[in-house]
Amino acid sequence: MTASLWVTRLIAGRIASAVFTLFLVSLAVFAVSLLMGGDAAEAILGQSATPEALAGLRASMHLDQPAPQRYLGWLIGLLHGDPGTSLVTGRPIGGMIAPRLANSLLLAGLTALVSVPVALTLGILAAVKRGGTFDRVVGIATIGIVSVPEFLIATVAVLIFAVTLHWLPALSSLRDVDSIYELLRVFALPVMSLACVTVAQMIRMTRAAVCDALTSSYVEAARLKGVPPRRLVLGHALPNAIGPIANAVALSLSALLGGVIVIEVIFNYPGVARLMVDAVATRDMPLVQTVAMIFSASYLVLVTTADIVAILANPRLRHQ
Amino acid sequence: MTALVRLSGLQIAACKDGGVTSIVRDIDLCVEAGEVLALIGESGSGKTTIALALLGYARPGCRITGGEIEVAGHRIDRMDEAALRTLRGRVVAYVAQSAAAAFNPMLTIMRQVIEPALVHGLMDRAAAETKARGLFRALALPDPDTVGDRYPHQVSGGQLQRLMAAMALITDPALVIFDEPTTALDVTTQIEVLKAFKTVVRDLGTTAVYVSHDLAVVAQIADRICVLRGGTVQEQGKADQILHAPAHAYSRALVGAAAPRVPAEPIAMPPPAPGEAPLLELRDIVAGYGGLDANGRPKACILDKVSLTIRRGRTLGVIGESGSGKSTLARVVAGLHSAAQGYVNLNGVPLASRIADRSREDLRRVQLVFQNADTALNPAMRVGQTVGRPLTFFHGLRGRTRAAEVARLFDLVRLPAAIADRLPGELSGGQKQRVNLARALAARPDLLLCDEVTSALDPVVAEAVLDLLVDLRRELGVAYMFITHDIERVRAIADDVMVLYGGCQMELADARALGSGPHHPYSRLLMASVPHLKAGWLETTMDPFAPVPGQAGATADGCRFFSRCALAMPGTCDLVRPASLVADDRLIACHRELAEL
């Protein structure tokens, strides 16, 4: 078997297992939405519900079909790119989610853009200067930040920068954004709050991976060849830390997905997560399920990408 | 002649738990230009620490605390880190013990080999690559023009070690430090690497410090030898003088341990009663990893139709290089690895293949002594308890009787009874291996599986453990399966010897017949590869890899040894698995006639 074929098969296997996992997730999401109890018909009719009205509404929303049949219909729809219609607004879910998803991706993307370079730089520096004052300060700071939940960070940040200092807006509405400056002002607080949590995790794991590589025999051998410190870290230790670092980044960014929900609610940001929170309140199950699937899929994409990066970065896997 | 390297009053200390312990004291050494000095000693003697000090380097936790270090006119002890950096790899180069660990797995070999030349700005990339290919050729590496494009995991351990030497020599350094460069290699590979090193060192007139614990290896390459122990010099002198007329008592002990052992007196055993089953019998064992194919063979076959018998109180030596399947064989007998085919009989009764299915009595009869006592003993448990547990488990002993029995066992392995209250971390390597042995003996087994039990020990200590094994056998009548890569050890202790190669049985012979009469070509190669304690032996020994043109590899059905065999017959050996030739005291798996071997 040629090397490239081997790698292709390895990667194809990873992707296949991710797709299979997503299928299992769809089962779980559907099952959990069944367990939540109550249904959209009750939520819509509220106090005025009569048994006849409920039955009629349920029939028109296909809620009277048995669960496996509803699941299959939903799954087939998803595969065709049609997640169905909202039970509450009656509008197609795809159309409801698209602009919100773009907003959420913008928020997550900006956070990643800020946090990944900061985390890698601080993590690598802490590893190089391990045991020193810098390392200890970074270590204590990351532990401190990891232990504080993001809603607290966000609330305190709003108190300081918006309420007391009036530097930044407390709510992140995208309606009156017409310049880069405005954009930065609007995103500063949510991005900062989200970045705090992800950066701390990434710093710790990057530091551990680079420390591991720096204490290896091959780095000692390179040092004894007279390799200068910068090249020692960037040329010898870092390539060996790429796999673990890619995984750390993927895990932290997927934790970001959970953080987005809280942050969007606090800053009243029109993203996909807030849509989900609203949908849960109105028992709009197709919408809840679709958003849950989007979150799961993004998580799997991140983790699978990290796996593939680790495979491609490792010559032992590249050249079997 | 002027001294190229001069150490005087060198002191190195280790800082641990706030305290400072001196690990190297008052070292005075000189190496003249073009000379090879060997630093020899057991683990902990400070030999690597001293060698690293020549690069101005101390491992984390250690510090050079005093003395003068001068190499090629540079006062290394007075240099700061930046100055040392310009020196390392250019004036002094280092060849590490395990090239497999010292090469960065993520970078191509060429990139790492030419790196010293590039970081010191000595030549451009093209010139460095040309020079590297020249060195690959001089070091007798296969495919010198393309080997640099590979990654470290794509070449063998012996080749990596030579590539590491090329990396050291690329800057024409004034001094090269070889730190146990052949210790991790099989004997047959060791010769190949030693020969390559010796040729380059001679042709380039390199000055070298060669660190080793193996006197016979050092005898081949060193001009002068310095014997170290506990961080101090015991004796130094010309290689001839140290090898043939050592003055210091410790040097004499080292030379004594390196000399071939006198085989133990054969132990008179009553002839087996007619019809009595052998203690252990293995028939056509096939074992490996991965799923089974249509023929019931594992995907990665580690043992291929291995058969053997061990009679009560006898010792079978199993010998082979790394990857030959010898440890898997012990694991199959111990029940830690299930065989795919074949059976294991104990006293004529089949043993369950999985340890979970074996009766307590079967477990008691077969005990495994692991190679590495450091990892085999529970570091949190006092050694008396480690030895006592099998006494409770197998024999129901408790309290006083158990303590008395533990004391008896420690006495048996020549350890003081007071040691029972210690933790493994407080014992020396040899003591730990004795505790390991006592733990196995506590079960009162009929068969001890000894897997490389002396490999991790220093030569002098290993000799003592071997003596102990011989004594125990005489006192207890226990049978051994003694697994090792060292044919000299096998010869000294075993009644019968089985030679494994690639999971196949090459030869089964009476140990006393080794070295005379016909032998399998691989057994011959093994015997010829053991370094002799004699300068010039390396030049006279046969080339173990006598290249046979057009002999690539055998088919899956052919002889496993085909590609390395000097007597191979293409057209036969690469296609058909040989049957066993039977002589009165040996079985040889070969297509040749007995008279040709």
pLDDT, tens digit (0-9, with 9 covering 90-100), for B179-218: 988 887 888 888 888 888 888 888 888 999 999 988 889 9
Nearest-CB residue to B115 (from A225, A240, A315): A225
Query: Is B151's Cβ below 8 Å from some Cβ in A?
Result: yes
Minimum distance, in Å, between the CA of residue A240 and any CA atom of chain B: 6
Question: Any idea which architecture B280-514 has in CATH?
Answer: 3-Layer(aba) Sandwich (3.40)
Nearest-CB residue to B104 (from A228, A236, A313): A236
Q: What is the pLDDT of residue B542?
A: 64
Mutate to test the interface with A, among B104, B147, B149, B180 (most CBs of A within 10 A): B104
Number of A/B CB contacts below 8 angstroms equals: 80
Q: How far is CA B479 from CA A273, B396, B562, in A?
A: 71, 24, 34
Average pLDDT score, chain A: 84
Q: Of B120-129, B392-401, B426-435, give the lowest mean pLDDT range.
A: B426-435
Residue B464 has pLDDT above 60, yes or no: yes
Residue A170 has pLDDT above 50, yes or no: yes
Minimum distance, in Å, between the CA of residue B100 and any CA atom of chain A: 9
Residue A320 has pLDDT above 80, yes or no: no
- Summarised one tens digit per residue, pLDDT across range A236-260 is 999 999 988 998 888 888 877 777 7
Short-list A293, A282, A271, CA closest to A96? A271
- Residue bearing tokens 């070889």: B178
- pLDDT tier, A98 (very low <50, low <70, confident <90, very high otherwise): confident
Q: What is the pLDDT of residue B46?
A: 87
Q: Where would I find the H helices in A89-228?
A: 93-128, 133-147, 150-157, 180-214, 217-223
Backbone conformation region of residue A204, classed left if phi is above 0, alpha if psi is from -120 to 50, else beta: alpha
- Summarised one tens digit per residue, pLDDT across range B255-267 is 888 877 777 676 6
Residues of B in Cβ contact (< 8 Å) with A218 = 101-105
**How many CA atoms, within 13 angstroms, populate the side-chain half-sphere of residue A303?**
16
Token pair, residue B179, equals 């730190």
What would the CATH number be for the domain defined by B3-255?
3.40.50.300
Residues of A in Cβ contact (< 8 Å) with B55 = 224
Tell which wins on pLDDT, B2 or A218. Answer: A218
Residues of A in Cβ contact (< 8 Å) with B115 = 222, 225, 227
**In chain A, pLDDT over 70 holds for what percent of residues?**
92
Tell which wins on pLDDT, B462 or B269. Answer: B462
Nearest-CB residue to B104 (from A240, A313, A319): A240
Q: Where are the domains of chain B?
A: 3-255, 280-514
Q: What is the pLDDT of residue A2?
A: 61
Residue B551 has pLDDT above 80, yes or no: no
**Residues B564-574: b if buried by 16+ CB within 10 A, e if exposed:** bbbebeeeebb
Q: What is the pLDDT of residue A43?
A: 66
Minimum distance, in Å, between the CA of residue A253 and any CA atom of chain B: 26
Q: What is the pLDDT of residue A3?
A: 63
Does the interface ipTM go beyond 0.90?
no
- Residue bearing tokens 């060292």: B486
Given an 8 Å threshold on Cβ–Cβ distance, is A224 in contact with B153?
A: no
Minimum distance, in Å, between the CA of residue B304 and any CA atom of chain A: 25
How big is chain B, counted in residues?
A: 597
B298's enclosing H/E stretch is: strand B298-310
Q: How far is CA B143 from CA B111, B133, B192, in A?
A: 17, 9, 16
Q: Of A188-202, B27-41, B341-355, give the lowest mean pLDDT range.
A: A188-202
Nearest-CB residue to A226 (from B116, B151, B164): B116
Given an 8 Å threshold on Cβ–Cβ distance, is A315 in contact with B105?
A: yes
Axis crossing angle, helix B249-258 with helix B459-476, rounded to the nearest 10: 60
Nearest-CB residue to B119 (from A215, A231, A315): A231
Give CA–CA dist B463/B461, Å, rounded: 5
Nearest-CB residue to B89 (from A226, A239, A316): A226
Structural domain contains residue A80: no
Give CA–CA dist A53/A57, Å, rounded: 6
- pLDDT tier, A87 (very low <50, low <70, confident <90, very high otherwise): confident
Nearest-CB residue to A226 (from B96, B105, B119): B119
Structural domain contains residue A20: no
Give CA–CA dist A208/B185, Å, rounded: 32
Mutate to test the interface with B, among A225, A233, A320 (most CBs of B within 10 A): A225
**Residues B169-179: b if buried by 16+ CB within 10 A, e if exposed:** bbbebbbbbbb
B115's enclosing H/E stretch is: helix B115-119
Given an 8 Å threshold on Cβ–Cβ distance, is B88 in contact with A226?
A: yes
Give just the sign of the alpha carbon dihedral B135, B139, B142, B148: negative
Q: What is the pLDDT of residue B459?
A: 79
Q: What is the CATH number of the domain that holds A124?
A: 1.10.3720.10
Q: What is the pLDDT of residue B362?
A: 92
Tell which wins on pLDDT, B446 or B189. Answer: B446
Amino acid identity of residue B479, one-letter, is A
Cβ distance B151 to B163 under 8 Å?
Answer: no
- Summarised one tens digit per residue, pLDDT across range B316-330 is 999 988 888 888 999
Structural domain contains residue A66: no
Token pair, residue B69, equals 């270090």
The whole-number average pLDDT for the span B53-69 is 90
Residue A1 has pLDDT above 50, yes or no: no
How many domains is chain A partitioned into structurally?
A: 1
- pLDDT tier, A38 (very low <50, low <70, confident <90, very high otherwise): low
Residues of B in Cβ contact (< 8 Å) with A227 = 85, 89, 115, 119
Minimum distance, in Å, between the CA of residue A130 and any CA atom of chain B: 13
Cα angle for residues B316, B321, B322 (degrees, 5° grid) = 115
Give CA–CA dist B84/B76, Å, rounded: 7
Q: What is the pLDDT of residue B544?
A: 54
Residue A225 has pLDDT above 90, yes or no: yes
- Summarised one tens digit per residue, pLDDT across range B387-420 is 999 999 999 999 999 999 999 999 988 899 888 9
Average pLDDT score, chain B: 87
Residues of B in Cβ contact (< 8 Å) with A222 = 104, 112, 115
Task: Residue A135: give the domain boundaries.
Answer: 97-318
Q: What is the pLDDT of residue B297?
A: 85
